[in-house]
Structure 1
């Protein structure tokens, strides 16, 4: 019998996910205990930051593994975008000090896979943080043919010219930013409608900052 590396990875990642859930449960209990010992809260904040990052990475890896093995069917339902963005904005402000501003109608709703959108947004915000940004602005474009665009802009130094020149070929490079763009692209590619597939484009703003466009078919 041949060795199936994908089966091994999937099993190990699911086990890690279960361990992560146990850690989060213990973390919740510890947080309650710290109410009586608030001077140690900074240690709890660090623990929450690391466990949150680990949890997101595990979800990403499991999702991408399923996509690559064609075992993942996006759950494309109608969602209010603000409901998807708000928890992420709160998390990034509390853990990283990053302000995420929603410059769109809070009643805006569309069809998308919420887990995949979360992966894309999380990686876009992590990339912005690592580049030195402290603010991210989210905007929406709607088009007559039914497709829509989520525009993510930040106030960092912008993308490197090589990244812009090579866009459309996001291969995992071993760096966080390279992997982030790859994961965002995979999340968009899983969205398909009327023979079209979701794509991303990147550019720099005229004065400062990077802009990422998530184009949903």
Structure 2
């Protein structure tokens, strides 16, 4: 059974931002990390309990990076009775070539490529919704980084339609804290796959610094993250 505090937080976000509708076919982007595996289990629980009927499938992008092997998911996810699409594409090599052209972050480029592959899988398999597992900490960090580095008030949105207009993206965990997901993944013994991408050690330094800054403020003001999420609600609902 899911952690009920987390489940209620997810349920509130789904209701607040009108994420799941009758007959939706929802494809969950599964990286193998604690966040996406937790999201899968929470949505399966919601599917059993909710009067709103919806279909769940999962997709993983294997970027063909020897430091990251998501293949154990090929047995695990079908064992839950969920349709599973395993997309193997040489993302890491293409991202490395892109980086060699003196362009910004390999992580940002890799992430965009993986997202595009998930959109394509959703379209091919007839899913109208793509569910992603970013949580409250991700949104707060993105918000603070955007203000400090770019002078912009922006963060990730909870529910929006992708540019082509045929796939809707939802983030059901926007009210859920990372530490709650980590605790659930440990207690539920989820088969978490660590991402040991060599680029990922170098690139997210700014995000790590932001995590430390937020943690230092949270030690002084325990409500700082929930207050930031509350302040960001108009951006989460209607942001860029």
Shorter-normalised TM-score: what interval? Answer: under 0.3
Larger radius of gyration: 1
The alignment's TM-score, normalised by the length of structure 2, stands at 0.22
Give TM-score scaled by structure 1 length: 0.23
Q: Which structure carries more relative contact order (alpha carbon 8 Å, separation 6+)?
A: 2
